[in-house]
Chain A
């Protein structure tokens, strides 16, 4: 019984982690059909922000939750202005260019900080599930993921900015005819997606080694989850993360974490084959 409780907690944490690492990529892909291959490196920048700020004496929660999205959002904004905006509509070119950015950022951080793994202490302790100990930090991850999903949903559904975002996503020309400037919206969406990536990096920094190459571990998982989710960004991310997260954790529990990751990726590939439009391309099409 305790074991089942622990397993359930792990599954929940796994799903939440997947939501966090996917959400930013999903916003950018869903809005602009841009597959941002530098997404993992944006997370890496967020993690470094957390590490550096914490070492400089900033409160750990601010270092993890506030600074990374701000800084990485800004980086995303600059990148959109100087590079991405020239490549809209050319999906392969954007993938190549953002892959270049990904290599560049990895190299840049390796140049500045060296190829060593850094760490941030976990700010909370552990708790007991029956006879097993579990990290309270998992609760933080789950709360952050739920807050991220709910926040994005509220933003899209209830705010004017969200309405404009959705309108531009549906039909940029029509939105432009109504006085919205699609380039500005794209810029904002890219910055928003980047900020979410930064947040994910900040939150995951204490439970993953922070190194220049850490982004590579996330990118395949993140964007195959986005594709699995389909056109409705928020619902899709939530659903696909749940499906893949459960598969990942259960297989990991039965075998090893590596096989768990492999099972996740293999399941995602299978799902793209069966549902090329993703889960929300087939079901729940009216959701957000």
Chain B
């Protein structure tokens, strides 16, 4: 997949506008929507978080994970298991972020320090998600429990306690407050990622995506940067999984499924590679369309997803956001062609 070239942070103006728009949405939606709408939007945010994870990893790190659902699922299960055991939700949220990061550190070390090629990274991540699916799917017996949490196999884990006010397990968040928590953390992660991308670390990550050999010859260890990118993305996916579990109070092995990994790739591809806004919008758009498609019983939604994926790979490989940006924003006037540095150098002699 070609990744749009001018993908580095494009100025403070855009950043502030984005955060402002996010905050406006966060505080205005509860006024505009009914309760059902707010709950719906909360799951959109969970999926947008998941999309940010894939978008950062793929669009900036150039790492193609075909099994990002593994981390989403680990996050969701980690939250469910620990909140059932602990009662209070603050630590479980941290566990939901940290557990996928630890898992990603192990898997990533194995892959990147083994210098496994890009396509194989896709294969291995996909296989790992299949392994997790099969493992968790087979834990339906009563003997499979972690502490007091029954894993429930293919039936999943119902009745997962919702988020509560930090430190007070007896006051769970209302749906509207859950919305604030979810949207607030999405904005926070967005800000965090923008910060990472503007830092030296982020620039080197993008440079490695552009030309790994060159980065290495300049003294950067691509393995380390890829590993760290992979770990960060896993943490974000885990937080997404945590929000997702919270939304329904329920989690089942389908979160590890191939459809889940495919969906998040579609979000990113549709929204736009090499942007952070793209994956978020892609997630919301596709989720919305899926719900619309789900309300009819004629065509299976997978058919639509498949068609969208093929169409975007073939026709709009850059995704919607970069396409609109190129179309709507006036292209910066390039310096005159054929005024090479060499000539300039010559003139200076």
Contact = CB atoms under 8 A, between A and B. Distances in A.
Contacts of A276: 114-117, 120
B124 A269 contact: yes
Given A95-B122, A276-B116, 9 more contacts: A92-B1, A97-B314, A102-B306, A106-B302, A107-B299, A107-B302, A110-B300, A224-B123, A258-B135
Which 5 A-B residue pairings sit nearest by Cβ, starting from the closest?
A104-B306, A107-B303, A100-B309, A107-B302, A103-B306
A50 interface: no
B127 interface: yes
Contacts of A115: 300
B32 interface: no
Contact of B301 (A35, A107, A223, A265): A107
A220 to B, nearest CB: 4
A97 B138 contact: no
Contacts of B122: 92, 95
Contact of A103 (B115, B134, B309, B314): B309
* Dominant secondary structure of chain A at its interface with chain B: helix
A256 interface: yes
Interface string B308-328: 111101100100000000000
Interface residues of A, number: 42
Most buried by B among A91, A115, A220: A220
Most buried by B among A96, A115, A212, A223: A96
A93 B64 CA distance: 11
Contacts, number: 126
Contact of B123 (A35, A99, A105): A35
A262 B314 contact: no
A222 to B, nearest CB: 11
B86 interface: no
Contact of B262 (A99, A111, A224, A266): A99
Most buried by A among B118, B120, B137, B299: B120
Interface of A: 35, 83, 86-87, 90-93, 95-97, 99-108, 110-111, 115, 212, 216, 219-220, 223-224, 227, 256, 258, 261-262, 265-266, 268-269, 272-273, 276
A268 B269 CA distance: 29
Interface of B: 1, 64, 66, 110-111, 114-120, 122-124, 126-128, 130-131, 134-135, 137-138, 257-259, 262, 265, 269, 298-311, 313-314, 317
Given A269-B124, A276-B117, A103 B313 contact: no
Nearest to A90: B1
A104 B66 contact: no
B129 to A, nearest CB: 9
* Dominant secondary structure of chain B at its interface with chain A: helix
B127 A268 contact: yes
Given A103-B259, A104-B303, A224-B123, A96 B134 contact: no
Contact of A110 (B137, B138, B302, B311): B302
Contact of A111 (B123, B259, B298, B308): B298
A97 B309 contact: yes
A93 B1 contact: yes
Contacts of A90: 1
A266 B111 CA distance: 13
Contact of A93 (B114, B131, B317): B317
A106 B137 CA distance: 21
A99 B64 CA distance: 14
